[in-house]
Chain A
């Protein structure tokens, strides 16, 4: 989102806001530029690093969940239910490592046994040479800590290898688009986390209103998780501008920090120290049958309510208390 500066407006970056959904690396690169130029950036990509003191600036906001939150919510659900012996299949890059770190941290509460972490290069198209080793470890739970196409292929091939018969597969983040692209067979029974699922409209009036508006605008279609995040990322900044009565950056930042909002998924707010949106995390399971419509792809197993105790502490992130 970008609004041109009017003649006579304040310094560079005044009235200019960014909202972006790309990979974590691109998000961090954009953040480097926006913080240097004093432009408000509300990111909807996942990353733990963007909350840390080294990367954060007063202009950086993070509407998306981060790997610590999703791994934490999914881990707390899965480690209590499916067993303590855990193996990892991890994409060998920062986001993959952050997801594993999240699982291992929450795993301490449950005394999980880490049987091994097999790391694969980003963009792997064949997991057949990695899966026998993972099977041989005989874990109760296999944490697939990758995303997008890597996740789709890994889950498809794990299904082909019959891994799901004896091992519960979990993933920190399951996206609606990935589930649709890979199909019900590949994702069947996989438990994961997400920030938004249209099906929570029974619980929150804001979700119902958002879904209805989306249906009206897009021929009856329902919003996906990232569709909702995109909306949230823009709406919060617009509401902050309205609240501030100005597009002056510092005033908008203050308004965002003061914002208590419920625009599409229940109550949220930005934590003061790292501007992370404190919000609920949904633990979901992929459906393969009894689907009511083409968007009926997940079942919500549990909801971890918004609470700062599920976030890394401000001190751990390097912020002064």
Chain B
């Protein structure tokens, strides 16, 4: 192989951060739901996949990508509200394994429903015309759409942070995550809070699925692979820690990218190796308290 140049290493690093942004966007909803509700949502990948399919459907009936950016998270968020209200809520207080098993089964049902409705073969999802092509970022050419994904992730994170830190409802959510009983005693309907948190988490998953669609097309199984990677991010960042998920997502992206440069066939294994190292060196980090 030809020698490494500074530009190549810098571009590789940037590619890793961009990949990390995608991991962050996907993992953040998972982390939010676990951090606030202590629900390990195994259906998160299925919500992500349904988000991509809802976008595909909306475009097929005359919508466009920009409309989808608003409509998809709303649709998947509403779907998430229904799932929480009907399926998850009855399981609160029964132990962490009950919602885990339920969402695990739900993910299979959702994938199968999409296969029945849309077929098993995937569909193309074109990059929006204004975001097509690559731009020079100083060290090489990089796809414009990936830069857009980084920007969109930053906007989602900022909005989430403002919502949780600067609004009174966010204060209730944080208090509820810390001690739901006290919040309940204070007259707050905690179940309503959980409902909204679950809705927000799934809305972000749907949004991530929509953003991923132009990168890889749409197939019913698309949520499966990224779910495993998202769990790595949430474990490395500390289960339930939103700030940790952001840092871990970026770290995982960079680790994958730099491994790809020197030992590409090891890229996939590298993220699991990273998780193993974190679990060995800092086991307490994997069960960090919510931010």
Please, could you name 24 A-B residue pairs with CB atoms under 8 Å apart, sorted by A?
A: A116-B1, A118-B264, A119-B264, A119-B265, A121-B267, A124-B268, A125-B222, A126-B22, A126-B215, A128-B19, A128-B143, A129-B12, A129-B256, A129-B257, A129-B261, A130-B267, A132-B15, A133-B8, A133-B264, A153-B215, A181-B122, A181-B219, A183-B126, A185-B127
Looking at the complex, which one of B12, B134, B261 makes contact with A162 (CB distance below 8 Å)? Answer: B134
Q: Encode B96-118 as 1/0 by CB contact (under 8 A) with A.
A: 00000000000000000000000
Give the chain B neighbours of A177 by CB distance below 8 A. 121
Q: Quick check: B122 and A128 within 8 Å, CB to CB? A: no
Since A152-B217, A161-B143 are in contact, a sample of 4 more A-B pairs with Cβ atoms closer than 8 Å, ordered by chain A residue number, is: A115-B2, A129-B256, A152-B216, A186-B124
Which of B1, B16, B125, B225 sits near A129, CB closer than 8 Å?
Answer: B16
3 tightest Cβ-Cβ pairs between the two chains A and B? A183-B124, A129-B260, A162-B134
Docked complex Cα distance between A149 and B146 (Å): 20
* Size bin of chain A's contact surface: 35 or more
Chain A residues contacting B256 (CB-CB under 8 Å) are 129
- Would B216 and A180 count as touching, CB distance under 8 A? no
**Interface residues of B, count at CB 8 A:** 43
Asked if A92 lies at the interface with its beta carbon under 8 angstroms from chain B, I say: yes
Q: Quick check: B124 and A92 within 8 Å, CB to CB?
A: no
- Give chain B nearest CB distance to A153 CB in angstroms: 5
Whether a CB of chain A sits under 8 angstroms from the CB of B163 is no
- Give chain A nearest CB distance to B16 CB in angstroms: 6
> B160 within 8 Å of A by Cβ?
no
List residues of chain B with CB within 8 A of the CB of A121. Answer: 265, 267-269
Which residues of the partner chain B approach A92 to less than 8 Å between Cβ atoms? 265
Q: Which residue of A125, A137, A180 contacts B121 across the interface (Cβ within 8 Å)? A: A180
- Measured between beta carbons, the chain A residues less than 8 angstroms from B143 are 128, 157, 160-162
Residues of B within 8 A of A (CB): 1-2, 5, 8, 11-12, 15-16, 18-19, 22, 121-127, 132-134, 140-143, 145-146, 215-217, 219, 222, 225-226, 256-257, 260-261, 264-265, 267-269
Contact A130 B260 (CB under 8 A): yes
- Chain A residues near B265 (CB, 8 Å)? 92, 119-121
> A312 in the interface, Cβ–Cβ < 8 Å?
no
CA distance A162 to B135 in the complex (A): 9
B134 contacts across to A, CB distance below 8 A = 160-162
Q: Specify which chain B residues have a CB less than 8 angstroms from the CB of A135 in the assembled complex.
A: 140-141
CB of B122 within 8 A of CB of A120, answer no
| A18 in contact (CB, < 8 A) | no
What sequence of 0s and 1s flags, for each residue 131-145 of chain A, a beta carbon within 8 Å of any chain B beta carbon? 111011100000000
CB-CB < 8 A to A131: which residues of B?
A: 15
> Of A124, A128, A133, A152, which is within 8 A of B18 by CB?
A128
Complex Cα–Cα for A152 and B267 (A): 19
Does A182 reach chain B (CB closer than 8 Å)? yes
Minimum distance in angstroms from A141 CB to a CB of chain B: 16
A124: B residues at CB distance < 8 A? 267-268
A-side contacts of B19, CB under 8 Å: 126, 128-129
| Closest chain A residue to B222, Cβ basis | A125
Q: Does A156 contact B (CB under 8 A)?
A: yes
Within 8 Å CB of A132, what residues of B?
8, 11-12, 15, 140
Given A136-B5, A181-B121, A181-B123: A130 in contact with B133 (beta carbons within 8 A): no
Instruction: Specify which chain A residues have a CB less than 8 angstroms from the CB of B123 in the assembled complex.
Output: 181, 183
| B216 and A126 contact, CB distance less than 8 A | yes
A220 within 8 A of B: no
A162 to B22, CA, bound (A): 20
Q: How far is the CA of A123 from the CA of B221 in the complex (A)?
A: 11
Q: Pick the contact of B216 from A116, A119, A153 — CB < 8 Å? A: A153
- Identify which of A116, A133, A180, A184 contacts B261 (C-beta below 8 A): A133
B264 touches A120 (CB 8 A): yes
Q: Is the CB of A152 within 8 A of B122?
A: yes
How many angstroms between the C-alpha atoms of A130 and B140 in the bound complex? Answer: 14
Asked if A149 contacts B140 (CB within 8 A), the reply is no
- B17 to chain A minimum Cβ distance, whole angstroms, is 11
Asked whether A181 and B260 contact (CB < 8 A) given A126-B215, A136-B8, the answer is no
CB pair A133–B12 under 8 Å, yes or no, is yes
Q: Are A162's CB and B216's CB within 8 A?
A: no
Q: How far apart are the CA atoms of A180 and B121 in the complex, in Å?
A: 9
Contact A181 B124 (CB under 8 A): yes
The answer to whether B217 touches A156, judged by C-beta atoms less than 8 angstroms apart, is: yes
- Rounded to whole angstroms, the CA-CA distance of A137 and B261 in the bound complex is 12
Residues of A within 8 A of B5 (CB): 136
Which residues of B sit under 8 angstroms from A126, Cβ to Cβ? Answer: 19, 22, 215-216
State in angstroms the CA–CA spacing of A129 and B8 once bound together: 11
Bound CA span A126–B271, Å: 14
Least CB distance, B30 to chain A, in whole angstroms = 17
User: Which residues of chain A come closer than 8 Å to B219, judged between CB atoms?
Assistant: 149, 181
**Complex CA–CA separation, A181 to B265 (angstroms):** 26
Chain A residues with CB under 8 Å of B122's CB are: 149, 152, 181-182
Task: Name the residue on A nearest B263 (C-beta).
Answer: A119
Most buried by A among B121, B124, B126, B264: B264
Asked if A137 contacts B2 (CB within 8 A), the reply is yes
